[in-house]
Structure 1
Amino acid sequence: MAKYIIRYGAMRFLGVFSARAKDEYNRDDQVIIRTKRGLEVGDVLCEATDEAVKQLSDPAFGSIMRAMSDEDLKQTEHMVGDAQREVETVRRVIGEMDLPMQLVDVEHLFGGERIIVYYLAESRVDFRELVKALASELQTRIEMRQIGVRDEAKLLADYGDCGKPVCCNTHLSEMPPVSMRMAKLQKATLDPTKISGRCGRLKCCLRYEYDTYEELQRDLPPIGSDIVTNSGRGRVLNHEILAGQLLVRMEDNRNIMIDASDVLTVLKRGNGQTGGGSKRGKRRDKKEAAEESGENTQSNSDTPKE
């Protein structure tokens, strides 16, 4: 029995799904699958080899019911039309009850047995009466799901500053923590308007090359190190990490750029801080890194209440 990795749902979940005997599927085939939530439409990504499954974190499991038919496609198009009316209904009822929550999106599962309401709220909301009212109006099971601003972008955003579709709505299955330290190490501009994504948080792409920068930086003498080079003694002022170069102040106060391979020996390793690295500066950097990491880590209270 073949197994496939399939992407499904508005939140673009990934799961391992078993096909029926003799059924075979190719990448980008649309299929009807059964998940814990019910019947859903999914996109085949690849075969679920051992190596591919290892790349998934806590994948869902289920079964592939069939390839998507013309009738299934018509039903999906009909559901898309219904979704807008459902959004208006949910927004109206929330307004009538004056609940402290912001509607983000509504997902109607293929089988019709469940509607999932995604919303933003600063604190927990008692929406028991809301669920009763919506279930009565929409005649189906209602699931409320509180999300964070990064998930809001995942649901609603289209294109990023780079001109390409936003990563969270394309290839990212998990949104990694991103900190200002990553931007500093890569010498990106620290202008918040230029390094923030559609969600208002630091861009996920700052995470992509960070590990490479860290690995390359480990091979360089830390900033503040006293070194001996082919041109004499000096102190490291800065790094050009990708180029493998150092900005060095020589004993005659000249600032020169040298290759890291020109360093003969390190007399005294620096602390890695520019400008001497005061204790106050170190505390500020640690606090800033912790705050940025905390703010940009996905920490949504996704406990459904029905």
Structure 2
Amino acid sequence: MPIYGLRFHSLDQTSYYLGPEHLQRGDMVFAPLEQGEALGEIVCVCPAPPPGITEDELPAIIRGTTDEDRAQLQANKEISLEAAEFCRRCIRNRHLDMKLVDVEVFFDRSKFIFYFTAPARIDFRELVKDLVHQYRARIELRQIGVRHETQMIGAVGNCGMVCCCRRYLRKFAPVTIRMAKEQNLFLNPAKISGICGRLLCCLSYEQENYDQFHRSCPRLGKKYQTKKGSMKVLRANMFRNSISVITENNEEMELTLDEWQALESYRPEGPKQTTAKAAPKPQTGDGLLVVSVTPDSVDDPALFADMLPVEAEKETAPPPPPEEGQSRSKRKRKRKPRQEGENRSEAPAAPPAVSPDTTDQG
């Protein structure tokens, strides 16, 4: 059977399925997912399965679409626009510090996904209740980052073209400031940052070539002993595959890496012993929220127990009860520790307590 690449959302990754031969690119079909059947679009026809997957492991397409299915798909798009407007109105009424980005509606309207951005965790319990009572379906609030927001909305980058994340990127590669330094770029935030305010994704495109070049060239700013005397490395040029050095006679030279290797260079002071760095802790998550609520569980008081902001938890937490047999004045007053050599007789002794049963009657 032919292998088709399906995409269930315009920004999703491509999933591969088996299907009949009459399907073509651009057709809408139903395919199985973890949450049930979903409607996807055929984006490619593959002659062979992707690497690492055999043909027996691929699921099969369930069926094609009819005119009624296409009409319901168009109706779902209108419902998603209406749900987005309703959610923004609820956000304004409840004065929540969040921004709605997009709304996704499942084909059978059993689930609504609301994508939003927020600077921190917020208390949106009442917002979830409003959405569940309005649409009587499973509501999922999914917090996304600024990169995914730009990917959904789309924008024009510094190069004058549509952002890469909107056109073809489906996974965000990690980008660090070290990449900009190794590529000899000016560390100007306006030049090396994208529309989203983060470092440009294109910094990682050529980083593998830079890493390979820097592994084979000497360290910049260090002195080396060679056959032609002492030399200090000044600059490195990856495009020319060369380095610039200065000799003992203050003469600047440009050498290719092959010429540098022929000089049999070495550090005169020898390798320095460095302490081993601690391994970085594995990241357990990015701190973004994903909340899914059904009409049956929306009134559960313990549903959002672990999702409240820290400030809200402090406000709702009751004060600790006082210890048994301890008055308020004793809790506030702290006994000062007695210093060494201090005379206890300076303080007047308290009179002995008299019990009512032992009073003098004579």
Give me the TM-score of the superposition, normalised by structure 1: 0.76
User: Residue 282 of structure 1 aligns with which residue?
Assistant: none
Which consecutive unaligned segments of at least 5 residues does structure 1 have? Answer: 55-60, 272-278, 280-285
Measure how far apart 1:144 and its partner are.
Answer: 0.8
Deviations 1:190-242 (A, max 9, x none): 2111211121100111111111110122111221241537x764211111023
| 2:240 equivalent to 1:243 | yes
Q: Which has the higher contact order (CA 8 A, sep 6+)?
A: 1
Distance change >3 Å, CA 33–CA 225, structure 1 → 2: farther
Q: For 1:232 and 1:46, how far apart are their aligned partners in 2?
A: 62
- SS at structure 2 position matched to 1:107: strand
User: Residue 84 of structure 2 aligns with which residue?
Assistant: 87
Measure how far apart 1:37 and its partner are.
Answer: 4.1
Distance change >3 Å, CA 270–CA 106, structure 1 → 2: farther
RMSD of aligned Cα (Å): 3.3
Which consecutive unaligned segments of at least 5 residues does structure 2 have? Answer: 294-362
- How is 1:1-306 mapped onto 2 (pairs within 5 angstroms)? 2-9=2-9, 11-19=11-19, 22-23=20-21, 25-38=23-36, 39-47=38-46, 49-52=48-51, 63-68=60-65, 71-223=68-220, 224-228=222-226, 233-263=230-260, 264-268=263-267, 299=286, 301-306=288-293
Q: For 1:243 and 1:73, how far apart are their aligned partners in 2?
A: 56
Give me the TM-score of the superposition, normalised by structure 2: 0.66
* Deviation larger for 124-133 or 185-194: 124-133
Measure how far apart 1:179 and its partner are.
Answer: 0.1
Letter in 2 for 1:268: R
Deviations 1:124-157 (A, max 9, x none): 3333332221122234331111111111112112
Higher strand share: 1
- SS at structure 1 position matched to 2:61: strand
Name the count of aligned residue pairs: 276
Structure number, greater radius of gyration: 2
CA contact (8 A) 2:6 2:40 kept: no
Measure how far apart 1:266 and its partner are.
Answer: 0.9
CA contact (8 A) 1:227 1:236 kept: no
CA contact (8 A) 1:114 1:143 kept: yes
CA contact (8 A) 2:2 2:45 kept: no
CA contact (8 A) 1:186 1:213 kept: yes
Higher helix share: 1
- SS at structure 1 position matched to 2:62: strand
CA contact (8 A) 1:6 1:46 kept: no
Identity of aligned residues (%): 32
